[in-house]
Structure 1
C-alpha cells in the first residue's frame, strides 16, 4: 500500500510516518521505480503500535526500545515492564503537578473582586515574586 493508504488505515498522518522513518522508529519501506513508498501489513501493525504508545505519552526513545525488544520474542518482558512502570510514574507525577496547578488557579480565580485592572488581585499576585 502507498503512504496515503497507510495513513488512512492507521490514522497517522503521512508526515508523521515519514518522520518515524527518518528517526529509525519505523523501518523504511521498499520503493517502486516511480519512487513511491510501498508498505506491507506488518508496517501498518507497527504504526498502530507506535500510535498507541504515543497516545499513552510514552517517549520516542522508550518506544524505540519497545520496538526493538519485539525482534526477540523469546526475551524477557523486563524491559517492557520497566518502561510501562516508568511511564505510570511520570503520569502520576503529572497528576500531582496538575492538581497543584488547579489549586493555584482556583485560589487566583477566587481572589479578586475588583472591577478595574488597576485593582486586580490576580494580576498583582502574578507579578509578585515568591
Structure 2
C-alpha cells in the first residue's frame, strides 16, 4: 500500500518517539502493524490516527488504562458517551487534586526560602526543613504512601 508509513515517519509526524510507539504496541494500545518484505513496520492512516489520539490523551494526563477504555469506547460510536464523560470527569478531579498538592508544595517552598537567612549551611532553613518534616507548616505536600 502506498499510504503506509514506516515507524520513523509516524514518529516524526505525530511527535511520538519510536520506543513509545513500540511500547504502545507491546501493551496492546496500538495494533501490531503490517510488516514489509524487509520486516519494517508499516502503519496505515487508522493506526496514525489512533496514535495521535493516544498522544493527545497522554498530553492531557490520562493514565494508560483510561486511554485503553477511551479507545474501546471510540471503537463503538453508536454507544452513549456517558462512560467517556465519566473518565474525563475522573481525570479532571485528579488534576484538581494534583493542583492542590502543587500549590501546597509551592507554599512550603516559598516559606522555606523566605525563612532562609542566607548564611552558612549549618544555619540554612531550607536544609533544616528538608531534614525534619515536622518543621513544615502542613502535610499537604507529602507523597502518598505506596502500597506493597
Q: TM-score when scaled to structure 2? A: 0.84
Deviation for aligned residue 1:101 = 0.5
Q: What does the per-residue CA deviation read over 1:21-74, in whole Å, with 9 as the maximum and x for residues that have no partner?
A: 000000111112221111101111111110000000100000001111112111
In structure 2, the residue matched to 1:22 is: 26
In structure 1, the residue matched to 2:35 is: 31
In 2, Cα distance between equivalents of 1:50 and 1:105: 34
State the secondary structure of the residue aligned to 1:38. Answer: strand
- Structure 1 residue ranges, 4+ long, deviating more than 4 angstroms after superposition: none
Deviation for aligned residue 1:114 = 4.2
CA RMSD of aligned residues (A): 1.1
**Which consecutive residues of structure 2, in runs of 5 or more, have no partner in the other structure?**
135-148
Change (3 A) 1:116 1:27: same
In 2, Cα distance between equivalents of 1:10 and 1:23: 19
Deviation for aligned residue 1:127 = 2.1
Deviation for aligned residue 1:121 = 2.3
In 1, Cα distance between equivalents of 2:127 and 2:74: 53
- Residue of structure 2 aligned with 1:72, choices 42, 66, 76: 76
Is 1:128 the counterpart of 2:123? The answer is no
In structure 1, the residue matched to 2:10 is: 6
In 2, Cα distance between equivalents of 1:83 and 1:4: 32
Is 1:104 the counterpart of 2:141? The answer is no
Q: What does the per-residue CA deviation read over 1:66-110, in whole Å, with 9 as the maximum and x for residues that have no partner?
A: 111112111110111011000000000001001111110010001
In structure 1, the residue matched to 2:145 is: none
**Which consecutive residues of structure 1, in runs of 5 or more, have no partner in the other structure?**
none
Count of aligned pairs between the two proteins: 130
Question: 1:73-88 maps to which residues of 2 (within 5 A)?
Answer: 73-88=77-92
State the secondary structure of the residue aligned to 2:115. Answer: coil
